[in-house]
């Protein structure tokens, strides 16, 4: 069985959190384009140098860069049984490019709905592992429980940048909900409440799609 899912929702809606759980549940990789870009920045690669300023400002990396990055990633061996895309596509042009790359298409879009004030509060308290990208809500620990790496606050989680990211989301990414609805791919979930409760809702909803 192969499972191909897209996670969609505003910054802070829990795409990374739920993607990691879903990935474990189905035994397939969760592919976070944000993590890939942050890793490129940390490594100081050509890609990292090119995108660093874009990430810090909360703007979008050009479509052609993102499409080749994802095309290469999903062609790897570990994606043979499927994958979960977190953060891609983010524009209608990226969605169209994905259809060209994946002729069989995707199984479903997991759309997480969370009120604006709640995502702002979540991002203000988020800590991210510098080494493995795991995320934490407010915590007293300064070390990652997964890999022992340092926890830090992302540059783009400053309040003013978060507001900008939300505007970018509304303008460029929210239209994807309508785009995928016309293809009957959208499964909408309330992303508020305890993480495990949201995960149960999503797993039950997706089980019906891929049964």
Instruction: Give the residues lining the site for ligand AP5 (CB under 6 A).
Output: 9, 11-17, 33-34, 37, 54-55, 58-61, 66, 87-88, 90, 94, 122, 126, 135-137, 156, 165, 193, 195, 198
**Cα-to-chain-centroid distance, residue 68:** 17
**Catalytic: which of 15, 38, 122, 187?**
15
Nearer to ligand AP5, 186 or 211 (CB): 186
Dump strand ranges (E) for 9-45. Answer: 30-32
Beta carbon of residue 88, minimum distance to ligand AP5 (angstroms, whole number): 4
Distance CA 53, CA 69 (A): 18
49 is catalytic: no
In this structure, is the dihedral angle defined by the CA atoms of residues 147, 153, 174 and 76, taken in order, positive or negative?
A: negative
| Minimum CB distance to ligand AP5, residue 97 (Å) | 10
Catalytic residue at 159? Answer: no
Instruction: Single out the catalytic residue among 4, 38, 122, 126.
Output: 126
Q: Is 96 annotated as catalytic?
A: no
HSE (side-chain half, CA atoms, 13 Å) at 175: 11
Name the phi and psi angles at 146, rounded to 5: -85, -50
Q: Are 133 and 38 in contact (CB under 8 A)?
A: yes
Tell me which residue has its CB nearest to ligand AP5.
Answer: 34
Of 179, 177, 178, 157, give the one whose Cα is nearest residue 9.
177
**Phi, then psi, of 187 in degrees rounded to 5:** -120, 120
Question: Of the two residues 93 and 107, which places its CB atom closer to ligand AP5 in the complex?
Answer: 93
Instruction: Out of 38, 165, 185, 187, pick the active-site residue.
Output: 165
Closest CB 16 distance from ligand AP5, rounded Å:
3
Shortest Å, Cβ 183 to ligand AP5: 19
Residues involved in catalysis: 15, 90, 126, 154, 165
């Amino acid at each position: 069985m192969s499972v191909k899912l897209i996670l969609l929702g505003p910054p802070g809606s829990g795409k990374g959190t739920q993607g990691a759980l879903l990935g474990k549940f189905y035994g397939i990789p969760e592919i976070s384009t944000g993590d890939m870009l942050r890793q490129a920045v940390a490594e100081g690669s050509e890609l990292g140098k090119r995108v660093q300023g874009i990430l810090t400002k909360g703007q979008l990396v050009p479509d052609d860069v993102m499409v080749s990055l994802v095309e290469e990633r999903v062609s790897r061996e570990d994606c043979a049984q499927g994958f979960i895309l977190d953060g891609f596509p983010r524009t209608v042009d990226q969605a169209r490019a994905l259809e060209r790359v994946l002729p069989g298409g995707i199984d479903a879009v997991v759309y997480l709905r969370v009120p604006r004030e709640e995502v702002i509060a979540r991002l203000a308290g988020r800590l991210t592992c510098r080494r493995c990208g795991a995320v934490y809500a407010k915590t007293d620990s300064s070390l990652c429980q997964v890999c022992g790496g340092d926890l830090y606050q992302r540059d783009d989680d400053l309040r003013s940048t978060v507001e900008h990211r939300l505007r970018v989301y509304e303008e460029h990414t929210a239209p994807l909900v309508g785009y995928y609805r016309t293809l009957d791919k959208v499964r909408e979930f309330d992303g508020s409440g305890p993480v495990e409760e949201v995960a149960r809702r999503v797993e039950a909803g997706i089980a019906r799609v891929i049964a």
